[in-house]
Structure 1
Amino acid sequence: MASIFLELLTERWPVIAVGALTWLIFTIVQTLFSGATLSQIPIVGLEIGDEEKRRMAYLTSAKKLYTDGYLKFKDGIFRFTTSRTSPVVVAPPRFLGELQKLPDNVLSIGAAIDETMESKYTKIEAQLAIIPSTIKSALTPALVRLNPVIAAETKEAVDSELGRCQNWTELNINHKLLRIVAKVSGRIFIGPELCHSEDYLDAAINYTTDVVEAQQAVQMMKPWQRWLRAPFLPQVKKLNQRLVQADAFLRPVVNARRKAALQPGYEKPDDMLQWLMDSQAKFGQKDDKEYAKIQLILSFAAIHTTTLTATNAFYNLAAMPEVVAELREEVQAALDENNGTFTSSALQSMKKLDSFLKETLRFHPFSFASFQRKVLRQFTLSNGQVIPAGVTIEVPAYPVSFDPNIFPECDRFDPLRFYKLRQIARGANSTGTKAAEAAAQNQFVSVNQSSLTFGYGRHACPGRFFAANEIKMILSVALLGYDVKCAEGSEGRYTNLEFAHMSFPDSSKTLLFKSVA
């Protein structure tokens, strides 16, 4: 065998050599051309120092870099050094229309997420096609019929986690919300068999925090060190342990459902796990261990972002007691008009609560950038700017949200900002479909060039409709059941913590709760 290989190698070495040389020349030319193209894009933060200093500045003060670049190059492209492996190019929202039309083999959201999550080292597969497909085709259309189930689970979870607070009681609302959101999301994602299980709650909640810790641990390392050291980080090893744990408690439920389905008259559960099982063949899922992976990804996406938004909302409520009474009145009126039930109509009529939550997203986004895509093939923007392959392109969401030309008095938290904009839109357009469409641009779930928290275009967050209903129900139940204020000695609203492009409410803070008489 070895002699045959050597003989072939001897005969064909000229061809191999030419091929290798061609590949080398192509790679060098492509790299030089990309570098030359990239050099034409102005860079923000050069005054900070060398590349390593700029990378560390990104980890500690990315918000300032995004804002500086946006103000200096408002209608143009800029770049700065980040902790990502690939260079980052930032484009203003005016290019979103043409960017979102580019195919996935030119701009890839999956490749961008993999890089953000350091999937090369953490092994997180955030872009499994079965997840967005099932959310869009099964979960979102089911919300009308599932809202009563979600509401019942929300009421039970809030009551059990917050408890009876006859006097002002100090609670860590972030910790409570992690369990509340895990239970409510779990009821829909994983079903009634497991959503109250401490094994499930422990895995779902801790996987969320473990992912963030693993991601941050990798990004704190210099890029050239990661390939050797990152796989052995204890934070990365934890993620593998969570997968084993999730498979252990989920596999028996899957097997039990399959066995029960063989019995006559069996009624399938109406939840995400069952929908995933029903579409297993369609997406080529062969190993039941895939369910554990999918559920953990769902838990991370749902629990992480929903808890962040809800915690920010509670911190805002506590710092603005004058808002509580007005929102409580609206929630009660909406429920009274719907026989005390959280119907879709009731949720839609909570326009002030919707505005309060949207302003919370504007003022306290969980990312300073949006529409993050990896460029797989070079393309040219309408202004003639060439964007080379290999870079990540994104839009500066935070500076847009604080642009006074878009949002007057942008530095002031106005809980009714979007409520008033909806009223103005309806008044300006009088009646009919046009008025409804204009007003809808200012809803919590709306996606447009000035509301980028949920992304933009065909890959905008598909789960935002479920998340909106869930957060509204949690806030509504809490508003009707409790008064809330900041802990004694605190001054104003708690300041969020920042790391790279992310912003988090400080999970160590507490609030005071008292049951409404």
Structure 2
Amino acid sequence: MDSDSLPVYGLAVAVVLLLIFIYDRCRFSELNSIPALGPSGALSSWFGAVRFILDAPAMVQEGYQKHKGGMFRVPLIDRWVVVLTGPRLIEELRKVPEDELSFDHAMRDLLQVKYTFGIDAQEYPYHVHVTRNHLSRNLQVLFPDVYDEITHVFRTIMPSDQGGWAKVRLYPEIVKAMCRVSNRIFVGLPLSRSPEFEALQQQFALQVVMRASIVNFFPKFAHPIIGRLLTNTPSSIRRCMALLEPIVEERLRNIEQSRDDCSDKPNDMISWLIEVSDKEHRTLRSICLRILVLNFAALHTTAQSFTHALFFLAAYPQYSTPLREEVSAVIDQEGWTKNAMTKLEKMDSFLKESQRLRSTTLFPIMRKAMRPFVFSNGTVIPSGTHVVAASSPMHLDDEYFESASEFRPFRFSQREDDEGIKDPQCLLASTSSNYIPFGYGTRACPGRFFASSVMKAMMAYLVLNYDISLEKEGERPPDEWFMMNCSPNRKAEVMFRRRRST
């Protein structure tokens, strides 16, 4: 090939790729009956996609105000996404079976599962069964371990002297705490406190989001190339296998030797995964992959939610006193138990109100149409289209929450009606058609009960042992947005002072 012809060939390839990209976007012309935000042309819609990257909250809020109770669409780089608004459509979406509007396939696209986890983790999700059943069922007996890890990690990362205030860069320390506490249940001591294991889990969880986001910036035909270039899953699994091999292999040997007598096996996630897995997946690699996936699911979203709540507490330190009084009264009566956490009604409400105002994503509910689907209002969703539900605009709507834009930490603590019956919808872990941080319906987050118990225990420990404030009172650190994802400020510092009495 003549060197002078290289620019011509390069231009030709670029034009072909551009035409393929335009054709790929034109496939979504079937969505023309659904109102679009911004330009809707194959090329002009890219301006809307850039706007969504830079200012998704304002864009979705605009769509919600214009089309409340209905639906609209927003452009991403490689597709249009249909956004549902209001409880009626969310309730309708909840009832649609997986083979019509699929959660699993939407997650495959969003997280680029083929290149971040591998399809095996989603096609054989026995870790979800373990989370929904074994983890929830065993939390009562394992709660002393949770509390022990909370006290250990916070004594490590928080100021120990009683002489004055100390600054703590909050988000990284909360990620560390959440990683240690979760893995005390997942893999047990001493590995849960291993700096190498902790770094692996944090890095893998963060890299999944980063790599999936990068892949999704490219058109679909480029995903296999970009995905394989970026994937770090094989190396992460190998690192995890090196750390977990002695533990897992010993468990497998003990099971083989003891046969039916498993009474002495450790009560943790590794044992539960081995127990429910079939012969093909009862391997070191399979167990390690599930531990990585569970850490991804548990680590950053829970740490973000808890950091948001601590920022609210630091911005409104006057609420520390009623929370502290409630914790003291309950712990004096119940001790540090799982049952005690269920009686922290003000604490539960504080965390739920924080989540209402600061969900970690605009779209906690997401589905992919596996074939054409028609909503009750006659709107047709073509096969392959992503359908989501907008959370933040609904959570900030006065129709569903009185004075919705205000932070009212105890709005959910009045749990009884006039007949003294407690309303389960007031609980942090509950979901409804107008409160969806954990999703809604059968595909709601299976680990939300564990997450809510851990967050309440961590907050209870902190309010008993520390005064918490911001250096500039009332100035809550600004959130960090990237597309539909909301993270608490990663660099913001919070003031902590060890209390002289608890």
Question: TM-score of the superposition, structure 2-length normalised?
Answer: 0.88
Q: 1:456 aligns with which of 428, 440, 449?
A: 440
2:45 equivalent to 1:46: no
What does residue 102 of structure 1 align with? 96
2:337 equivalent to 1:342: yes
CA distance in 2, matches of 1:217, 1:493: 30
What does residue 26 of structure 1 align with? none
**Are the aligned partners of 1:34 and 1:389 in contact in 2 as well (CA < 8 Å)?**
no
2:382 equivalent to 1:388: yes
CA distance in 2, matches of 1:106, 1:221: 26
AA aligned opposite 2:447: G
What does residue 416 of structure 1 align with? 410
AA aligned opposite 2:211: A
2:67 equivalent to 1:88: no
2:269 equivalent to 1:272: yes
TM-fit CA distance, 1:32:
12
What does residue 161 of structure 1 align with? 157
What does residue 149 of structure 1 align with? 145
**Are the aligned partners of 2:140 and 2:337 in contact in 1 as well (CA < 8 Å)?**
no
2:492 equivalent to 1:492: no
| Superposition pairs of residues 107-122 of structure 1, within 5 angstroms | 107-122=101-116
CA deviations on 1:162-183 (whole Å, 9 max, x unpaired) are: 2403221111121211221111
TM-fit CA distance, 1:230:
4.1
What does residue 15 of structure 2 align with? none
CA distance in 2, matches of 1:265, 1:42: 59
Q: 1:478 aligns with which of 444, 459, 462?
A: 462
TM-fit CA distance, 1:107:
1.2
Q: 2:128 aligns with which of 110, 117, 132?
A: 132
TM-fit CA distance, 1:95:
1.9
CA deviations on 1:286-335 (whole Å, 9 max, x unpaired) are: 54211111101111111111111111111111111101111111111110
What does residue 239 of structure 2 align with? 245
CA distance in 2, matches of 1:267, 1:157: 28
TM-fit CA distance, 1:219:
3.5
**Are the aligned partners of 1:34 and 1:388 in contact in 2 as well (CA < 8 Å)?**
no
Q: 2:183 aligns with which of 180, 186, 203?
A: 186
**Are the aligned partners of 1:444 and 1:468 in contact in 2 as well (CA < 8 Å)?**
yes
CA distance in 1, matches of 2:115, 2:145: 38
CA distance in 2, matches of 1:174, 1:153: 18
TM-fit CA distance, 1:505:
0.4
2:196 equivalent to 1:199: yes
**Identical columns (%):** 28
TM-fit CA distance, 1:216:
2.9
Q: Secondary structure at the match of 1:310?
A: helix
What does residue 254 of structure 1 align with? 248
**Are the aligned partners of 1:114 and 1:120 in contact in 2 as well (CA < 8 Å)?**
yes
2:417 equivalent to 1:427: yes
Q: 1:321 aligns with which of 317, 323, 348?
A: 317
What does residue 492 of structure 2 align with? 509
AA aligned opposite 2:300: H
Q: Secondary structure at the match of 1:462?
A: coil
CA deviations on 1:365-406 (whole Å, 9 max, x unpaired) are: 101113200110112111122211110111111111011111
Q: 2:328 aligns with which of 322, 326, 332?
A: 332
Q: 1:62 aligns with which of 56, 77, 89?
A: 56
AA aligned opposite 2:196: D
Q: Secondary structure at the match of 2:491?
A: coil
Q: Secondary structure at the match of 2:496?
A: strand
TM-fit CA distance, 1:415:
0.8
Does the C-alpha gap of structure 1 residues 89 and 302 become closer, same or farther in structure 2, counting only changes over 3 Å?
Answer: same
CA distance in 2, matches of 1:499, 1:211: 15
Give ranges in structure 1 of 5+ residues lacking alignment: 1-30
Q: Secondary structure at the match of 1:427?
A: coil
CA distance in 2, matches of 1:451, 1:265: 41
CA distance in 2, matches of 1:67, 1:247: 45
**Are the aligned partners of 1:89 and 1:394 in contact in 2 as well (CA < 8 Å)?**
yes
Task: Tell me whether 321-330 or 175-184 shows the greater mean CA deviation.
Answer: 175-184
Q: Secondary structure at the match of 1:80?
A: strand
Higher CA-based Rg: 1
AA aligned opposite 1:275: W
2:303 equivalent to 1:307: yes
Does the C-alpha gap of structure 1 residues 265 and 445 become closer, same or farther in structure 2, counting only changes over 3 Å?
Answer: closer
2:212 equivalent to 1:212: no
AA aligned opposite 1:466: F
CA distance in 1, matches of 2:385, 2:262: 55
CA distance in 2, matches of 1:32, 1:359: 39
What does residue 25 of structure 1 align with? none
What does residue 8 of structure 2 align with? none
Task: Tell me whether 187-196 or 104-113 shows the greater mean CA deviation.
Answer: 187-196
CA distance in 2, matches of 1:480, 1:410: 29
What does residue 9 of structure 2 align with? none
**Are the aligned partners of 1:153 and 1:184 in contact in 2 as well (CA < 8 Å)?**
yes
**Are the aligned partners of 2:39 and 2:47 in contact in 1 as well (CA < 8 Å)?**
no
**Are the aligned partners of 1:86 and 1:390 in contact in 2 as well (CA < 8 Å)?**
no
Does the C-alpha gap of structure 1 residues 321 and 76 become closer, same or farther in structure 2, counting only changes over 3 Å?
Answer: same
CA deviations on 1:315-362 (whole Å, 9 max, x unpaired) are: 111111101111111111110111x22231x11111111010001101
Q: Secondary structure at the match of 1:177?
A: helix
Q: Secondary structure at the match of 1:341?
A: coil
Q: Secondary structure at the match of 2:366?
A: strand
What does residue 445 of structure 1 align with? 429
**Are the aligned partners of 1:497 and 1:505 in contact in 2 as well (CA < 8 Å)?**
yes
**Are the aligned partners of 1:260 and 1:266 in contact in 2 as well (CA < 8 Å)?**
no
AA aligned opposite 2:81: V
**Are the aligned partners of 1:174 and 1:311 in contact in 2 as well (CA < 8 Å)?**
yes
CA distance in 1, matches of 2:191, 2:364: 34
Task: Tell me whether 266-275 or 91-100 shows the greater mean CA deviation.
Answer: 91-100
CA deviations on 1:231-251 (whole Å, 9 max, x unpaired) are: 324xx33x4322221111112
CA deviations on 1:134-159 (whole Å, 9 max, x unpaired) are: 11221111122222221222222222
AA aligned opposite 2:109: E
TM-fit CA distance, 1:221:
4.2
What does residue 12 of structure 2 align with? none
Quote the RMSD (CA, aligned, Å). 2.3
Give the number of equivalent residue pairs.
469
CA distance in 2, matches of 1:357, 1:174: 16
**Are the aligned partners of 2:338 and 2:453 in contact in 1 as well (CA < 8 Å)?**
no
CA deviations on 1:79-119 (whole Å, 9 max, x unpaired) are: 11024x44311122312333222221111111111111122
AA aligned opposite 2:465: G
AA aligned opposite 1:332: S
What does residue 378 of structure 1 align with? 372
TM-fit CA distance, 1:260:
4.0
Does the C-alpha gap of structure 1 residues 473 and 225 become closer, same or farther in structure 2, counting only changes over 3 Å?
Answer: same
AA aligned opposite 1:151: Y
TM-fit CA distance, 1:466:
0.3
